[in-house]
Amino acid sequence: MNKRLSQFSRNQALVYKIFLFIASTLLVIYLLPKGGQFKYDFQKGKPWQYENLYAPFSFTIKKSEEALANEQAEIRKNAIPYFDFNAGSVEQSKDKFQQLLDESYVDSLYSTRKQTLLNLGNNIIDKMHLHGVTAEIHAYSQEQLVYLKKGNEVEEIPYRQIVKQDDLDEKVLELIKAGTNSENVWNYMEILLKRSMVPSVTFNQQLTESAIEAEIESLNPNRGIIEKGGRIIAKGEVVEGDTFQILNSLKDEYKSQVWSKSNLIWLLVGYAMLVSLVFLMLFLFLKKYREDIYSNNTKVTFIFFNIVLMVFLTTFIVKLDAAYVYVVPLCVLPLILKAFFDPRLGLFVHVLTLLLLGFIVPNSFEYLFLQIIAGIVTILTVSELYRRANLFISVAQITFIYIIGYFAFFIIQEGNIQTLQWETFGYFILCGLATLFAHPLIYFYEKLFGLVSDVSLLELSDTNSKLLKELSNKAPGTFHHSLNVANLSEAAANEIGANAMLVRVGALYHDIGKMQNPTYFTENQLNAVNTHNELAPKESAKIIIEHVIKGIEIARKNNLPDRIIDFIRTHHGTNLVYYFYKKEKELNGDAKIEDFMYPGPIPFSRETAILMMADSVEAASKSLKNPTSSKIDAFVEKIVNAQMDNGQFLNAHITFKEIQTIKKVLKKKLNNIYHLRVEYPE
């Protein structure tokens, strides 16, 4: 039955991996551009590496983006602006003038009759509003042609014919003097007319822009035709100028003409094969070099999720605007994988992800080169991520590498820096700033996937944390024992290249179950009274064994990560509580071995195996009387060899050589703890 369950479990894990493989492949294919890949790879400023290229079909030469931008700028520069004429403003000006005249005219002061002045004022208002009066300020020259829209009619006039606010005084006074010889009314009429004049012309932004856009849309994007069979470029010729634009035109035409709906199926088949190869390489790498990760479906899902996420983000940005492609913080991927796993896996996954992105991004060679270099720098520079300063320094170095790499590529392609796009450097800086979000992203992933990073391990290793302070208060002897085990385990892990931070934290929490009944454990007994003397051996063994179960319960209640709980579950494996087992046999002549065995499981990683060795050796070392170097050596050998004989390390993926190394570290550390010195002859 157990064999069938085990087989079902293995098959279930395999089925899930196959599902993950297919789902990830389909998602990536969906995100990839639905167009064929041009079979020639070329770059501006570099020689043509292939044989002479002849046009496979007739196609038009597209204008370069720069040429189109220049034409659009020229259209905007020469565009004729539209102005609206408001006929109602003329009547408003006349009504206002008449009102002011009625209020201020005095017969005795002026020799000219009121009606004459009214007629003169209305006549001047009509002349001023012939082409309109505007209060707006524009930078047009006086001879600039403009369209003046009066109702449904549009007339073309020079801009100088529209009266501006600054010219109003001079124009009004000129017309007044031309209309009457009575000098005593000139200033009076000037004041009235200036106060009466309501602007009648306003700039029509919407109509002007519509006209410009219509003219821009009518631009011909092509500038010539290449006939079928015509030579485009010869082998060894440098790709530049018109040739570069012709090749780009052929590339665009190739995608639109060659790749139609009829052969979309073949395109998808090709994509499926290439994407499948990438994911297959990832599975093979995990199977061969990271067996512990491969066997954990959650970790495999986490890796695939991040790859698909990066492909999605890059695709989204490229569709939005390809110029922003370097804003995507791709270096977050190796950084996060390094935080949760190891640098080698981080770099491998980073490179595989870039292979997929090569189908999406423009200038794929330049992009891949910069991103691979940046990924290598990320792996080499980001160490001890839990130190915030390290992340800032590494991000600065990554950004600097981006800038240097892009600058070098630009010089190679353009041969000068006159047209250098400085805003691209800003994109690299934004990318660096986005990379700083690795810390909150790591925290999010820890909660979502149940993983543990060095950042969390550092927080858990703080002896001032609530749980460890509770342990030190309730079971001070156990707390001291845990500190010693942590130091021993960390030293051993460093020596064999295991995760030292993880094993240290696991050691600090491995005995928290002893807080429930601390006096039943010798390290917490402050006097010679042993509470086990009043209990049957079987009862005592049960209490001792239960500290593992209670430790797991306390850990779960305090939301400790599963990787830390693994240390609590496995630190005694399936070992025997030998003292009480032997005592039971002495009292009753027989004893069931099952009643005196820890429930397990046995250690299933190098880190949990190290803890088992360090825990047993440290605890038993307290019983040594007059310890000497030779006694400690024999004592460590005896305990670790007994664990090996009991098969406690069969699932731990630890080698005999590593166990021997761990023994040496434990011996050395114990000698230091007991301050043993070489005995000199008298």
d(CA 437, CA 433): 8
Q: Which residue has the tokens 């599902």?
A: 19
d(CA 374, CA 532): 62
d(CA 635, CA 640): 9
- Whether the bond into 601 is cis, omega within 30 of 0: yes
Do residues 410 and 279 both lie within one domain?
A: yes
Show the tokens assigned to 107. Answer: 């017969």
Q: Dihedral of the CA atoms 296, 297, 300, 301 (nearest 10)?
A: -150
Instruction: Answer whether residue 159 is part of any domain.
Output: yes
Instruction: Answer whether residue 41 is part of any domain.
Output: no
d(CA 252, CA 59): 10
Q: What is the largest CA-CA distance in the chain?
A: 146
* Cβ-based neighbour number of residue 66 at 10 Å: 10
Instruction: Answer whether residue 394 is part of any domain.
Output: yes
Mark 416-455 as b/e (b = at least 16 C-beta within 10 Å): eeeeeeeebbebbebbbebbeebbebbeebbeeeebbbbb
Q: How far is CA 497 from the centre of its chain?
A: 29
Domain-terminating residue out of 203, 231, 253? 203
d(CA 365, CA 371): 10
Do residues 432 and 463 both lie within one domain?
A: no
Do residues 344 and 373 both lie within one domain?
A: yes
Do residues 429 and 459 both lie within one domain?
A: no
- pLDDT at residue number 69: 87
Domain-terminating residue out of 449, 483, 510? 449
- pLDDT at residue number 256: 66
Do residues 343 and 489 both lie within one domain?
A: no
- Give CA angle at 460 (458, 466), nearest 5°: 140
Question: Structurally, how many domains does the chain consist of?
Answer: 3
Do residues 588 and 485 both lie within one domain?
A: yes
Q: Tell me 307's DSSP state.
A: H
Which CATH number covers residue 629? Answer: 1.10.3210
* Cβ-based neighbour number of residue 301 at 10 Å: 15
Instruction: Answer whether residue 500 is part of any domain.
Output: yes
- Give CA angle at 460 (455, 461), nearest 5°: 100
Q: What is the 3-state secondary structure (H, E, C) of 614-647?
A: HHHHHHHHCCCCCCCHHHHHHHHHHHHHHHHHCC
- Residue 398's domain comprises 275-449
Do residues 607 and 521 both lie within one domain?
A: yes
Instruction: Answer whether residue 59 is part of any domain.
Output: no
Q: Is 511 exposed, middle or buried (0-12, 13-18, 19+ CB in 10 A)?
A: buried
Q: Helix H segments across 198-331?
A: 205-217, 241-253, 264-289, 291-294, 297-320
Residue type, 65: E
Do residues 392 and 541 both lie within one domain?
A: no
Instruction: Answer whether residue 166 is part of any domain.
Output: yes
Query: Which residues of the chain carry a pLDDT beneath 70?
Result: 1-10, 35-38, 108, 255-263, 382-389, 527-529, 675-682
Do residues 392 and 483 both lie within one domain?
A: no
Do residues 361 and 509 both lie within one domain?
A: no
Residue type, 53: L
Residues 6 or more apart in contact with residue 311 via CB below 8 angstroms: 27, 28, 31, 353, 356, 357, 360
Do residues 463 and 419 both lie within one domain?
A: no
* Average confidence score pLDDT of the chain: 85
Q: Helix H segments across 461-588?
A: 466-474, 476-496, 500-509, 537-557, 562-570, 578-588
Q: Are strands 82-85 and 201-203 parallel, antiparallel or unpaired?
A: antiparallel
Domain-terminating residue out of 172, 203, 234? 203
Show the tokens assigned to 35. Answer: 């167009």
- pLDDT at residue number 239: 81
- pLDDT at residue number 386: 58
- pLDDT at residue number 168: 83
Instruction: Answer whether residue 656 is part of any domain.
Output: yes
Instruction: Answer whether residue 35 is part of any domain.
Output: no
Do residues 166 and 288 both lie within one domain?
A: no
Phi-psi region of 123 (alpha: psi -120 to 50; beta: other; left: phi over 0): alpha
Q: Tell me 521's DSSP state.
A: S
d(CA 509, CA 552): 10
